[in-house]
Amino acid sequence: MVNRTSTAEVMSMDLSPKHAAKAYGNDGGSYYDWSPSDLPMLGVASIGAAKLNLAAGGLALPCYSDSAKVAYVLQGNGTCGVVLQEATKEKVIPVKEGDALALPFGVVTWWHNAHASAADLVVLFLGDTSKGHTPGRFTNFQLTGATGIFTGFSTEFVGRAWDLDQDAAAKIVSTQPGSGIVRVKDGHRMPEPREEDRAGMVLNCLEARLDVDIKGGGRVVVLNTQNLPLVKEVGLGADLVRIDSRSMCSPGFSCDSAYQVTYIVRGGGRVQVVGIDGKRVLETRAEAGNLFIVPRFFVVSKIADDTGMEWFSIITTPSNPIFSHLAGRTSVWKAISPAVLETSFNTTPEMEKLFRSKRLDSEIFFAPPAN
CATH number at 286 reads 2.60.120.10
Same domain, 181 and 220: no
The answer to whether residue 252 is domain-embedded is yes
Provide the pLDDT confidence category of residue 70 given band limits of 50, 70 and 90. very high
pLDDT of 219 higher than 90: yes
Same domain, 63 and 181: yes
Provide the pLDDT confidence category of residue 9 given band limits of 50, 70 and 90. confident
Same domain, 43 and 192: yes
pLDDT of 1 higher than 50: no
Q: What angle do CA 304, 37, 259 make, to 5 degrees?
A: 50
pLDDT of 8 higher than 80: no
Boundary-marking domain end, from 139, 173, 198: 198
Same domain, 314 and 265: yes
Least confident of 78-92, 93-107, 214-228: 214-228
Percent share of the chain, pLDDT over 90: 66
Same domain, 107 and 157: yes
pLDDT of 226 higher than 90: no
Boundary-marking domain end, from 145, 174, 198: 198
Q: What angle do CA 49, 98, 96 make, to 5 degrees?
A: 105
**Cβ-based neighbour number of residue 303 at 10 Å:** 17
- The CA distance from 302 to 305, in Å, is 10
- 90-117: average pLDDT: 96
Same domain, 194 and 275: no
The answer to whether residue 225 is domain-embedded is yes
Backbone φ and ψ for 137, nearest 5 degrees, come out as -155, 135
Query: Which pLDDT score is estimated for 334?
Result: 72
pLDDT, mean over the chain? 90
In terms of pLDDT, which residue wins out, 363 or 134?
134
Provide the pLDDT confidence category of residue 2 given band limits of 50, 70 and 90. very low
- The CA distance from 271 to 254, in Å, is 16
Query: Which pLDDT score is estimated for 337?
Result: 85
Same domain, 222 and 353: yes
Same domain, 128 and 179: yes
Query: Which pLDDT score is estimated for 274?
Result: 95
pLDDT of 121 higher than 50: yes
Query: Which pLDDT score is estimated for 320?
Result: 62
Same domain, 193 and 207: no
- The CA distance from 209 to 239, in Å, is 12
Query: Which pLDDT score is estimated for 3?
Result: 53
User: pTM value?
Assistant: 0.91
Amino acid at residue number 192: E
Short-list 289, 299, 295, CA closest to 315: 295
pLDDT single digits (tens) 137-173: 999 999 998 899 888 999 999 999 999 999 999 888 8
pLDDT of 319 higher than 70: no
Domain of 308 in residue numbering reads as 203-366
Boundary-marking domain end, from 178, 198, 218: 198
Query: Which pLDDT score is estimated for 178?
Result: 86
Short-list 360, 359, 351, CA closest to 248: 359
Query: Which pLDDT score is estimated for 119?
Result: 96
In terms of pLDDT, which residue wins out, 106 or 319?
106
For β-strands 248-254 and 299-315, DSSP reports them as antiparallel
pLDDT of 189 higher than 90: yes
The answer to whether residue 165 is domain-embedded is yes
Same domain, 135 and 224: no
Q: Which residues lie below 8 Å from residue 86, measured CB to CB, with a gap of 6+?
A: none
The answer to whether residue 1 is domain-embedded is no
Query: Which pLDDT score is estimated for 100?
Result: 97
Q: How many domains does the chain divide into?
A: 2
pLDDT of 329 higher than 70: no
Same domain, 130 and 210: no
